[in-house]
Amino acid sequence: MCTKNLFLFTKILTIIILTTLTTRAQFVIKGRVTDAKNGDPLPFATVGIKGKNIGAQTNFEGIFTIRAKELGDSLYVSTVGYKTRTKAIDKKSANQTIDFQLAGEAKSLDEVIVYSGENPAFKILRKLRENSEKNDRKHLSAYEYDSYSKMELDVDNISEKFKKKKVMKQIQGAIDKFEKMAGEDGKAVIPTFISETVSKFYYRESPSRKKEMVLKNNVKGVGVKEGGFVSQLVGGNLFANYNFYNNYVAFLGKDVISPIGENWKGTYKWYLSDTTDIDGHICYGMEFDPKNDKDLVFIGKAYIDTTTYALVQIDATVGKEANINFIDKIKISQELTQTSEGAWLPAKTRFLIDIAEISKNSAGMLLKMYISNKDFVINQPKPLAFYDIPVEVAEDSKETDPKFWEQARHEPFSAQDVLASKLIDTVRNVPIVRTYVEIAEIIASGYKRFDGLEIGPYLYSIAFNRIEGMRLRMGFRTNAAFSKRWVFKGFAGIGTRDLKMKYGAEANYILSRRHWTVAGIKHTYDLERIGLTPELISDNKIFYAFTRWGLYSGAFYRRENEAFIKTEPTKGITLTASLIQRNFDPLFAFKYRTNPEMNQLSPSRDYYDDTFLTLEARFAKNETYIMDGNERITLDTKRVPVVTLTYQRGLKGFLNGDFDYHKFTAKVYQTFRLGTLGRSSYLLQAGYTPSSLPAPLLYPHLGNQTLFFNRAAFNTMHYFEFVSDKFVSVQYNHNFEGLLFNRIPAIRQLKWRLLATANILYGSQKQGNQQLMDDAMPIFNPRHPSNMLESRFNFSSLDPNIPFVEVGYGIDNIFKIFRIQAFHRLTYLDHLSPSGKLPDKFTIKGSVHFSF
């Protein structure tokens, strides 16, 4: 027995010695591969020793480790969309770190030609689509998970000339440290914002609901204020929860064709490159490249499990060649994990937007987001009421203790992250930086913010017109720093010609944030125009501002009192009730018969008082909101129709009301994708009143006599040219995006987008309403400040058998910000406008708008 034990001991000792010798003889090379321009880690990159069949692949953080018994002269790195780099290896060092910074390369994959049979990648992709029924997360009834997210906003592309600017000189020391951290081939960036968030994310499939509960966050940045909507955006899961099984991946209002969607073959070229082990899953490595790089498409690499044919990892990039504005690159990297039910959920997501510099000597911007999810719970949906508030921030969510974040992070902070946090403190305390931030804030919001109070909006501060002369106006509103319940607004203005004071005051009280219940009262006295009042123009603030300039025909003074309450009893349904009293004091020739049944013997009046009750219901399925202080900002409605139904009841005798009437109005708006043909939107409206009313109280159709395009207006119609008591209209707009221009060699570089428009209106006016206005005629109006004869308003009715029709076409994205559209009026070509002129059969409208 002793001999056997001795033999066994000797054998074990020999194995230990051999293992030790082997380990000592092994070389270990570690490193990290990043984008040279922005420092973003590059997952799935191939790293190998040149001349040896030894290598590795970078993980999701761009980190690699190679263990080898022997070394070559150099180490190389290659990945899709980047130039291959090589660095020398120190053969004498057993452990060494070699980092790579790769420069981008605008080179696509060569098309794969298979002479015997089809491309082998096609079979794999067909299998992926066939198995999507069990792999796609949409087939789970519900899921939830714990999430950690980090968001960073940087300034990049810092030129030498930009470094000489005054603002840069004040932070040069901190920038020098960051340049060293970027690496020998990397470019420095200046962090301006960084946040960390711990949250819980919940999703329910039917009906579709989602919610993110922000538990803790730490937000640090230039110009960041407490109590804003930033703390709701930093969670990230509501906005970066990308699903590549969908046909389109949506962000920035754009729909990028998914490489593994149903159109994978028609849009992309595919290449089966390798197989690799990813966390125990043997995967096909599949490289993809667009057939037309000007389309909204990705380039990158996907890893598909060889057994389940599920997407395991993907690295997808939209380059600057695509028809998208102000963007050099959009990159999404995603790592998925399999749940107990078979479907796969995102475990890690990295999202980057590289915003292009405006000029050669200016800087660009980088937005980076990293999201890590764990502790998944499957198929346990919460009650519907739980999802009422899509983003909920805990009252004690602010957490700045470094020890807490050391434990909360799913991955430790890198040295670059630590330095970025310190640099932000330096940058945000520079006076000129604070000035730049304030200017940008005024441009974006229209208000200058103070503690608890905001002054503006500056868009309405000045105007020139024939009635008022130079109009000066100033307003204010309170914010959440003043009160989280009470909101006060007001304005005062005066014209240098009419010398009449205009003013307004409003007080709102927020009864509930969960069901967004607000009650309020307001009083205003101002100069308005028939057919161009705020309630008709809706939220087009720029168009409303421009209508206050020029001749200002159809002007009237209006005093208005309103009390209202608005609530959202359940998600997607908003109910509003309001009681409004208005008077109408025109500055143009206007009369109506108070007793039209008496014909010519009827008394007439040139003004009226109107008191009415309004009940409104708005249906917007899956609409998502976030809170900006005391205001709600809508994010999207999942491209389903938004329906608004309104009923108005005139109250004669109540608060001096002159009319007893009923009005019914319906409105439907939707934007939707037409596959590769582009994106469409329509506005469908209908209205009906059985009552006899003066023309301004009917349905005046919105015309447009400005040079600027208005999507909600009839752009070849004059102001108040047609009035109806029942009507139906549709306004259809289609943007072909780059469908046609992307395929014309001489034009495709301009990134123009073709537009098409068709507006149709059916309407009529019953005989009783026409008789009511028969006495309207040009008369001298002593209250008119110019003592001039005003042109007559015909208050014309449309022929119920002949629609008003206009069609348009144009080019969008000229120099990235301009839109030019031509419109042809096809009917009512001989109809006189309210000013007695023939209409414009053809007109050109322009607009300036920023879109990606």
For 423-469, how does the pLDDT look when each residue is reduced to its tens digit (9 = 90+)? 777 666 666 666 666 676 776 677 888 888 999 888 889 999 999 99
Res. 545: pLDDT tops 60? yes
Q: Where are the beta strands (DSSP E) in 320-363?
A: 327-338, 344-355
Res. 596: pLDDT tops 80? no
Looking at residues 250-276, what average pLDDT do you find?
85
SS (H, E, C) 708-776: ECCCCCECCCCCCCEEECEEEEEEEEEECCCCCHHHCCCCHHHCCEEEEEEEEEEEECCHHHHHHCCCC
Helix ranges restricted to H, 510-582: 534-537, 541-546
Looking at residues 52-81, what average pLDDT do you find?
82
Question: What pLDDT is attached to residue 834?
Answer: 66
Looking at residues 634-639, what average pLDDT do you find?
65
Looking at residues 54-72, what average pLDDT do you find?
82
Question: What pLDDT is attached to residue 836?
Answer: 67
Domain 17-102 has CATH 2.60.40.1120: yes
**Which of helix, strand or coil describes residue 287?**
strand
Looking at residues 166-191, what average pLDDT do you find?
62
- Specify whether the CB–CB gap between 530 and 592 falls below 8 A: no
Strands 27-35 and 100-102: parallel
Looking at residues 457-482, what average pLDDT do you find?
92
- Specify whether the CB–CB gap between 812 and 755 falls below 8 A: yes
Looking at residues 159-179, what average pLDDT do you find?
63
Looking at residues 274-303, what average pLDDT do you find?
87
Closest by CA position to 704, among listed 542, 818, 585? 542
- Could you tell me the CA-to-CA distances from 223 to 16, 401, 428, 447 in Å, in that order? 61, 21, 7, 15
Q: For residues 725 and 140, what is the distance between their CA atoms, to the nearest angstrom?
A: 50
Return the top range by mean pLDDT from 240-244, 411-415, 501-505, 786-790.
501-505
For a pLDDT cut of 90, what percent of the chain falls above it? 33
Strands 631-636 and 604-605: unpaired
pLDDT band, very low/low/confident/very high, at 714 (cuts 50, 70, 90) = very high
pLDDT digits (tens, 9 = 90+) for 32-59: 888 877 777 888 888 888 877 787 888 8
Question: What pLDDT is attached to residue 348?
Answer: 92
Question: What pLDDT is attached to residue 22?
Answer: 43
Question: What pLDDT is attached to residue 616?
Answer: 97
pLDDT band, very low/low/confident/very high, at 17 (cuts 50, 70, 90) = very low
Q: Could you tell me the residue ranges of all domains in the chain?
A: 17-102, 446-848
Question: What pLDDT is attached to residue 226?
Answer: 47
- Could you tell me the CA-to-CA distances from 275 to 177, 272, 278, 285 in Å, in that order? 40, 9, 10, 5
Res. 213: pLDDT tops 80? yes
Are the folds of 17-102 and 446-848 the same? no
Chain centroid, CA 361 distance in Å: 28
Higher pLDDT, 306 or 849: 306
Return the top range by mean pLDDT from 271-280, 374-383, 711-720.
374-383
Res. 777: pLDDT tops 50? no
- 180-189, 317-326, 586-595: the lowest-pLDDT one: 180-189
Return the top range by mean pLDDT from 118-132, 175-189, 697-711.
118-132
Q: For residues 341 and 58, what is the distance between their CA atoms, to the nearest angstrom?
A: 29
Return the top range by mean pLDDT from 241-250, 713-722, 800-809.
800-809
* pLDDT mean across residues, the chain: 82
Higher pLDDT, 174 or 118: 118
Name the β-bridge partners of 583. Answer: 609
Fold of 446-848: Porin (2.40.160)
Looking at residues 627-638, what average pLDDT do you find?
70
- Could you tell me the CA-to-CA distances from 304 to 59, 121, 273, 771 in Å, in that order? 16, 11, 12, 74
Question: What pLDDT is attached to residue 1?
Answer: 45
Whole-structure pTM over 0.85, yes or no? no
